[in-house]
Amino acid sequence: MNRAGSVDFSLWGAFRCIVARDLTLAMRRRADVLTTLFFFVIVVSLFPLGIGPEMATLRIMAPGVVWVAALLASMLSLERMFSADYRDGTLEQMLLTPQPLPVLVLGKVFAHWLVSGLPLVLIAPLLGVQYDLPPEGLLILAVSLLVGTPVLSLIGAIGAGLTLGVRGGGVLVSLLVLPLYIPVLIFGAGGVDAAMSGLGAQAHLSLLGAFLLGALILAPWAAGAALRISME
């Protein structure tokens, strides 16, 4: 049991407390976790139905389709990041705790990624096989998602914070964040393409890494500011 007194409750403690809370919540409604995943799988599987079954076409499309589906799945789950907390008043309470807001936000984003980003990374290679991707493509697909999806969660947190309590928030958030997701999409899907055509995905992946670093530093502040504004 965490027996932290009022004095030595550190930043790390606050972070852990939020992550633990959100993971517990996610476990209580396990359906949520699975549905993001299923959404991803279904969207990826819809395309062959809409487009036709030729493997050659499908192989060209595969990285793009998987990445777009990941974008959409991650975006859909954004709505959950703050809005439940907003509606039942726990967010209000969170803003009034003596902990620095960016740390709390980072905790929430991390928990969100564990629940909605990580499963996508794990299942993506399987979907890639459906589209007949070669092994090196599958590897780079998974790696690019591993580096890219946290960026999506981080950028998404800003959008989710801004649209809190706004009517039609669910769709509005997509409007705000999808354009910002585009570089991640381009380098994510581009990396897989490059790997498949034998050019090497080094450059793409490093750029994705740079995005991740930048987002880690800036997004928690921006999202924190967004939350404060939304609560006014």
Partner 1 sequence: MLEVSNLECVRGDRRLFAGMNFSVQPGELLHVHGPNGSGKTSLLRMLCGLAAPAEGEIRWNGESIRSLREDYCKEMTYFGHLAGIKEELTALENLRVAVQLAGGDSAEDGLLDALDRMGLAGREDLPAKVLSQGQKRRVALARLLLCPTRLWILDEPFTALDVTAVKMVQQLLSEHLHNGGMVVLTTHQEVDIPAGTVRRIHLN
Partner 2 sequence: MPKINWFKYSSPQAFYPLIGKMIPWFTVLAVAFTLPGLYFGFFVAPPDYQQGESYRIMFIHVPAAWMSMFIYVVMAGYAGMGLVLNSRLSSMMASALAPTGAMFTFLALWTGALWGKPMWGTWWVWDARLTSELILLFLYIGFLSLQAAIDEPRRAARASAVLALVGVVNIPIIYFSVKWWNTLHQGASITVTKAPTMAASMFTAMILLTFAFWMYTIAVALMRVRCEILERERNSEWVAQAVGRSR
User: What's the min distance (Å) between Cβ of 18 and partner 1?
Assistant: 8
Q: Which of residues 5-24 bind partner 1 (CB under 8 A)?
A: 5-6, 9, 13-14, 17-18, 21, 24
Residue 72 C-beta: closest distance to partner 1, Å: 25
> At closest approach, how far in Å is the CB of 122 from partner 1?
25
Q: What is the per-residue burial (b if ≥16 Cβ within 10 Å, else e) of 56-91?
A: eebbebbbbbbbbbbbbbbbbbbbbbbbebbeeeeb
38-57 residues near its own copies, rule: CB under 8 A = 38-39, 42-43, 46-47, 49-52, 57
- Contacts with partner 1 in 172-201 (CB under 8 A)? none
Q: Are 40 and 70 in contact (CB under 8 A)?
A: yes
Among 89, 171, 179, 197, binds partner 1 (CB under 8 A): 89
Nearest CA among 106, 111, 102, 75 for reference residue 228: 102
108 binds, options partner 2, its own copies, partner 1, none, Cβ within 5 to 8 A by partner type? none
Q: Which does 114 bind (CB under 5 to 8 A by kind): partner 1, its own copies, partner 2, none?
A: none
Binding site partner of 102, from partner 2, partner 1, its own copies, none, Cβ cut-off 5-8 A by kind: none
Residue count of the chain, please give it: 232
At 152, list the tokens. Answer: 């999506």
Give the interface size with its own copies as a residue count (CB under 8 A). 46
- Please provide the DSSP assignment of 63-111 as one string: HHHHHHHHHHHHHHHHHHHHHHHHHTTHHHHHHTSSS-HHHHHHHHHHH
